[in-house]
Structure 1
Amino acid sequence: MNQSMITASVTMGQLQKKLDTISHNVANVNTNGYKRRDVQFQDLLFQQLNNQTVHQQETGRNTSNGLRIGSGARVSQTILRMEQGAIIQTERPLDIAIGEKGIFFEVLPTDENESRRFTRDGAFYLTPNPDNADELFLVTGDGDYVMSATGNAIAIPANYDSINVTETGTILVTLKGDLDTEINLGQLQLFRVTKPQLLESIGDNYFSFPNLDQLGLGFDDVLELVPENEGKLIQGALEGSNVDLGKELSELILAQRAYQFNTRSISMADQMMGLVNNIRG
């Protein structure tokens, strides 16, 4: 196959990954706490052809000797961008936004064999405790239990009147018939991720870590517990996506043009080979 065809086809395959990443970002422009990803490319191997045997003819050359024939480019990595999203006021008591980047809620896995899961989406709800009709559990939009600082699900009395969540994550509840007394139900579990590029999206707006043992790391190497006296939580608000729709559409246009350029390269190489095949001696 013609070398230009190989170079173009390889690059087109990698550009498709960029297009997929952009489409994923755009699809989540309204997802609470979503963090966009950017794509970075790097050159693949290239060949250096030095076919000039008369060195005197290289005098005055403005470029390096010989020819470089590349093999295209590939995606080197997709970078998780942790910039803070816009804070959207909802006035709903169970909506809790994190006002500082790098901090995540932890969610209890439904199965003990599942990996630890983290999220920035603070749209929480209440669900009945199947074993106790007098209790409600704080859960995510998918019904997963939100973890407390003790490592357990957060239980709230069913006869509550109001729920107040402080900036540091302390949950205070007043009960019906006793509005003057606030009950401290514990602390939301908050972690600061120190190596965010290791986070993997596992769907449903959750993140998880790969097998850290294979990387020679432990959770203490990638997570820091946020002290109980610190925190930037905002009750009655949600963090929006950090996707810049205008930027994503600009990147989409550039990627499409690069893709079109490479398809044109294949078409021109095919035409040249057709001309060669039609030459008659």
Structure 2
Amino acid sequence: MENAGYVTLTRQSGLMREMETIAHNIANAATTGYRQQGIVFSEYIQAVNDGDSLSMAAARIKTTSNAQGILTQTGNTLDLAIEGSGYFQLDTPDGPRLTRSGAFNVDAAGDIVSADGHRLLDGGGAPINLPQGGSDVKIASDGTISLGDRLLGQVGIVEVEPGAALERESGVLFKTEAELTPAEDGKLLQGHLEGSNVDAISQLARMIEVQRAYELGQKLIEMDDERAKTAMQTLIK
């Protein structure tokens, strides 16, 4: 009884984590550059005294979808989207962070910054500064920035080594301890933004499945609790 109750509670906890993740995805379905998250359940199987096995599943790993979001043309000079693999690199107070959100502007110092004020970095990890009146800059598909015949820098498009972990720090920011390298097939589009890659319909369908599974688990817990009460009453009598 105790084992069954523990397994059910563990499963319920995992379902709650998945429900929270799905709700977060749906809430960010319109967030520029947002990457859909998922939950991976791991299973632990242990033999018990009567010869049967005890299976325990827990939500232990969060995954991030690398599917391409929809690219929308905006016409804004510093709206940038990556078509293909790779991330923009930002300078934050906590160190370099990666993002696919390319809604940039220029701060008072002339640096290209994100919507949160984090400076955009070039391939070498340095900020990119634009001269006053540089609203007519052109940004090529390889990230090269030019104003007329003058080269001003190059937007860095980086990626992590295969299999390296990306840890989501906030909605559109990621951190990693892995080595960063130039993205091999990332292409920059000026005047475009990449939308969220959340598949809202599939997420809503999954939310319904998880909710039903959670409700079934609650019923099993209640039944197990009732059996325990009946057993206790029998022993007392």
Instruction: Please confirm whether the aligned pair reaches a TM-score higher than 0.5, indicating the same fold.
Output: yes
Q: How far apart, CA to CA, are the structure 1 residues paired with 2:228 and 2:135?
A: 79
Q: How far apart, CA to CA, are the structure 1 residues paired with 2:52 and 2:27?
A: 43
Match of 1:187 among 154, 178, 194: 154
Q: Which amino acid aligns with 1:67?
A: D
Residue 124 of structure 1 deviates from its aligned partner by 0.3
SS at match of 2:77: coil
Q: How far apart, CA to CA, are the structure 1 residues paired with 2:170 and 2:114?
A: 13
1:275 corresponding residue in structure 2: 230
Residue 162 of structure 1 deviates from its aligned partner by 0.9
Residue 168 of structure 1 deviates from its aligned partner by 0.9
Mapping for residues 1-281 of structure 1, pairs under 5 Å = 2-50=2-50, 66-70=51-55, 72-101=56-85, 103-110=86-93, 114-129=94-109, 136-173=110-147, 181-195=148-162, 198-203=165-170, 205-209=172-176, 212=177, 219=179, 223-226=180-183, 231-279=186-234
Contact 2:102 2:193 in 1 (8 A): yes
Q: 1:97-123 CA deviation, whole Å, 9 max, x = no partner?
A: 00012x01111234xxx3321111110
Q: How far apart, CA to CA, are the structure 1 residues paired with 2:18 and 2:171?
A: 22
Residue 9 of structure 1 deviates from its aligned partner by 1.1
Which runs of no fewer than 5 residues in structure 1 stay unpaired?
51-65, 130-135, 174-180, 213-217
Closer/same/farther in 2, CA of residues 204 and 182 from structure 1, 3 Å limit: farther
Q: How far apart, CA to CA, are the structure 2 residues paired with 1:204 and 1:4?
A: 37
Q: TM-score, normalised by structure 2?
A: 0.90
Q: How far apart, CA to CA, are the structure 1 residues paired with 2:37 and 2:103?
A: 22
Q: Which amino acid aligns with 2:118?
A: D
Contact 1:164 1:172 in 2 (8 A): yes
Residue 277 of structure 1 deviates from its aligned partner by 3.7
Closer/same/farther in 2, CA of residues 225 and 38 from structure 1, 3 Å limit: same
Contact 2:145 2:154 in 1 (8 A): yes
Q: How far apart, CA to CA, are the structure 1 residues paired with 2:230 and 2:217?
A: 20
Residue 49 of structure 1 deviates from its aligned partner by 4.2
Q: How far apart, CA to CA, are the structure 2 residues paired with 1:231 and 1:68?
A: 48
Residue 266 of structure 1 deviates from its aligned partner by 1.1
Q: TM-score, normalised by structure 1?
A: 0.77
Q: How far apart, CA to CA, are the structure 2 residues paired with 1:47 and 1:200?
A: 35
Q: How far apart, CA to CA, are the structure 2 residues paired with 1:244 and 1:3?
A: 37
Residue 170 of structure 1 deviates from its aligned partner by 0.9
Q: Which amino acid aligns with 2:228?
A: M
Q: Which piece of structure 1 moves more, 232-241 or 36-45?
A: 36-45
Q: Which piece of structure 1 moves more, 193-202 or 90-99?
A: 193-202
Residue 89 of structure 1 deviates from its aligned partner by 1.4
Residue 238 of structure 1 deviates from its aligned partner by 0.5
Percent identity over the alignment is 28
Q: How many residues align?
A: 236
Q: How far apart, CA to CA, are the structure 2 residues paired with 1:241 and 1:263?
A: 34
Which runs of no fewer than 5 residues in structure 2 stay unpaired?
none
